[in-house]
Structure 1
Amino acid sequence: MMITVQDFTGVYAEQAFMQELRTAAGTSKNVRWLDCTKIVGTDCYCDDDAIKEINELIDNAECDIENRGNSTSAPAIHFFDNGNYHYMSKLWTDRVQEPFTLIVFDHHPDMQPPRFGGILSCGGWVKEVLDNNKFIQKVIIIGVKDELIETVREELSQSGEANILEKVTFIKESKLSTLPSIICSDYVNVFSSNLYISIDKDALSPTYAATNWDQGSLTLDALKDCITALTASRRILGVDICGERAHDFEGNEYHTVQEADTLNSELNRELVEFLNNL
């Protein structure tokens, strides 16, 4: 798979694997590194000017890839920093031009109704996809904190938009032990043959990742087993990965700064190797 890295905060500078990708981007047809650190209006919320600038950066990179003789239609992995930038999955799925099911691994539902004039946010991007992408068929959100699901239902009901939940299935954190049986259920067997996967690493236990949001209890093996089962006989259109530590992280009860960077670097490496072998 082609790999695109969007660096918004500079957090990848301390990750050995990501720096390997940055070096490879200079010559490889399969890796591109997009410096987004100078784009304003991107942290948690992405305003219209920032969206335009990001899309132009991606378009220019895709032209460069085509000039190198590679195809931009192949499945790709997109890294885009910490969870404050998860809205990038909305911008990437905007580029999909065929029916698809969106699979989201996240400890948060990311379906809040807009609070600031409809501006795109990390907390509402899934709803934006459902509202505006004509190709979206189903959304499955895996690992969501239980109480947040009811909060979203109430918020959407109050705003008169509860009907969009007809396309959404939540697999809440307390039910992760039954994930294999859910994935093998009749419901999952009927959704689109095209999948788009978006991973916020905060769905994972702190054993596996150090992120900038509260984290869930999903294991790495369960994540990989779920993706393997879901993608059997289905086509992957793209895979997004976010959930790095905050750029100003100073350590917590789980990890020092160095431990966090080492852990995240190795997780990113393992995810790339796993996805390339599907």
Structure 2
Amino acid sequence: MRLELIHLDDAFVGQRAFLDACAERRAVSVDATADGPRVRLWGYDADLARLEAKLGASAGGADGGPVLAFLGSGDFHHVSAMLIARAAATGSRPFTVVHFDNHPDWVRCSSGMHCGSWVNRALGIPNVAKIVTVGVCSKDLQHPEWKGGNLAALKEGRLELFPFAQAPSKVSGDYGAGASHRQEGGHVRWTCIEDIGLAAFGELLLSRIETADIYITLDKDALAPADAVTNWDQGKLSLDDVLRLIGRLAERHIIVGADVVGDYSAPAYAGGVWPYVRKWGESIIDHPRVALAASAVAATNEATNLRLLDAFTEAMRG
């Protein structure tokens, strides 16, 4: 396994034990701090292409084995689509993306890519057989059509979405039925983890993956606040829940790559006045205020990162 720290922000400042643990594992550090403010929340195609080229160059000496990357804030979750594309380009077999998140990240984005739209980009990557999203309990599934959700992918079966807890979603279209949802009149009813229990969900999740290979992307905003401090509203999965699911996935499947986002960092934007204003306004609406001291934020996220580092290292052993 190859370990990468992709520095897009200052999320890992104050996490000395985590950085030391990464150094012991010979982590490769990718300095993308100049790119971060331009692509934070969303980025134009030209800025994204420059970052993607940098990520491709960083893997130039890799041996073809799986890569585990830590990216910083969940404001950069769209960078995961680049890493998924990189994993697809280095392999020859189809794989399933298992996506832990408090948000579905499936909205439309007409220019560039948004941290809330990257799932659509990933669905178009060759060798991505399906995406399975796990843990959503945000407001994104309330009137999802109004919010630009890609329910068509759900109907086609290329996307399955298992919320942690979610009331039926009011819709006007017909989206059929699948393992994660069923249409009842003007509502989509979801198969929720809270309703069936984690053990039963673990079995269901395994049954929904038809490929030998998987890629795991984890946004820590899927975790309860006791286990992470993020830039976003947070879900209800515990870290222990997620680690158990990762362990079960590793028993059955080959993990061809993984990434972790969701550390807190103070937003910084660049790229011109209009992008700055748009992103600042979006963050005011979507980002909850973090009242904890910086040292407490770093301590909480570091403890979780260390456990995730150990768990993925074990799960991704060749």
Name the TM tier (shorter chain).
0.7 to 0.9
Report the AA paired with residue 153 of structure 2: I
For 1:143, which of 135, 144, 148 is the aligned residue? Answer: 135
For 1:245, which of 256, 261, 264 is the aligned residue? Answer: 264
1:10 is displaced (CA, Å) by 1.6
> Match of 1:192?
211
1:43-79: CA deviation from partner (whole Å, max 9, x where unpaired): 111222222222222233223x35xxxx1x1111111
Aligned counterparts of 1:152 and 1:31: Cα–Cα separation in 2: 39
Report the AA paired with residue 90 of structure 1: A
CA contact 2:103–2:138 (8 Å) conserved in 1: no
Distance change >3 Å, CA 16–CA 139, structure 1 → 2: same
1:275 is displaced (CA, Å) by 1.3
Distance change >3 Å, CA 62–CA 120, structure 1 → 2: same
SS in 2 for 1:148: helix
1:180 corresponds to 2:217: no
1:42 corresponds to 2:33: no
> Match of 1:119?
112
Report the AA paired with residue 99 of structure 1: P
Distance change >3 Å, CA 168–CA 187, structure 1 → 2: farther
> Match of 2:182?
none
1:222 is displaced (CA, Å) by 0.5
Greater shift in the superposed pair: 173-182 or 227-236: 173-182
1:219 is displaced (CA, Å) by 0.5
Aligned counterparts of 2:303 and 2:138: Cα–Cα separation in 1: 29
> Match of 1:105?
100
1:164 corresponds to 2:153: yes
TM-score, structure 1 as length reference: 0.85
In structure 2, stretches of 5+ residues that fail to align are 166-191, 268-286
1:152 is displaced (CA, Å) by 3.1
Distance change >3 Å, CA 232–CA 152, structure 1 → 2: farther
Report the AA paired with residue 135 of structure 2: G
> Match of 1:263?
300
Aligned counterparts of 1:190 and 1:140: Cα–Cα separation in 2: 8
CA contact 1:15–1:265 (8 Å) conserved in 2: yes
In structure 1, stretches of 5+ residues that fail to align are none
CA contact 1:17–1:268 (8 Å) conserved in 2: no
> Match of 1:128?
121
Report the AA paired with residue 13 of structure 2: A
1:134 is displaced (CA, Å) by 2.5
> Match of 2:224?
205
Aligned counterparts of 1:188 and 1:153: Cα–Cα separation in 2: 28
> Match of 2:270?
none
> Match of 2:189?
none
SS in 1 for 2:229: coil
1:196-242: CA deviation from partner (whole Å, max 9, x where unpaired): 00000000011011111000110011101111112222110111100
1:273 corresponds to 2:310: yes
1:84 is displaced (CA, Å) by 0.5
Equivalent residue pairs, number:
261
1:18 is displaced (CA, Å) by 4.0
Distance change >3 Å, CA 13–CA 60, structure 1 → 2: same
SS in 2 for 1:232: helix
TM-score, structure 2 as length reference: 0.75
For 2:50, which of 41, 50, 53 is the aligned residue? Answer: 53
Greater shift in the superposed pair: 141-150 or 79-88: 141-150
For 1:76, which of 50, 67, 72 is the aligned residue? Answer: 67
Aligned counterparts of 1:258 and 1:156: Cα–Cα separation in 2: 37
SS in 2 for 1:185: helix
Segments ≥4 residues shifted beyond 4 Å: 153-157, 248-251
> Match of 1:88?
79
Greater shift in the superposed pair: 34-43 or 100-109: 34-43
Report the AA paired with residue 176 of structure 1: I
Distance change >3 Å, CA 173–CA 190, structure 1 → 2: closer
1:168 is displaced (CA, Å) by 1.7
CA RMSD of aligned residues (A): 2.5
CA contact 2:10–2:265 (8 Å) conserved in 1: no
SS in 2 for 1:267: helix
Report the AA paired with residue 38 of structure 1: A
1:15-40: CA deviation from partner (whole Å, max 9, x where unpaired): 11343267x39xx7x41111111125
1:153 is displaced (CA, Å) by 4.7
> Match of 1:224?
243
Report the AA paired with residue 42 of structure 1: V
1:256-275: CA deviation from partner (whole Å, max 9, x where unpaired): 22111011112111111111
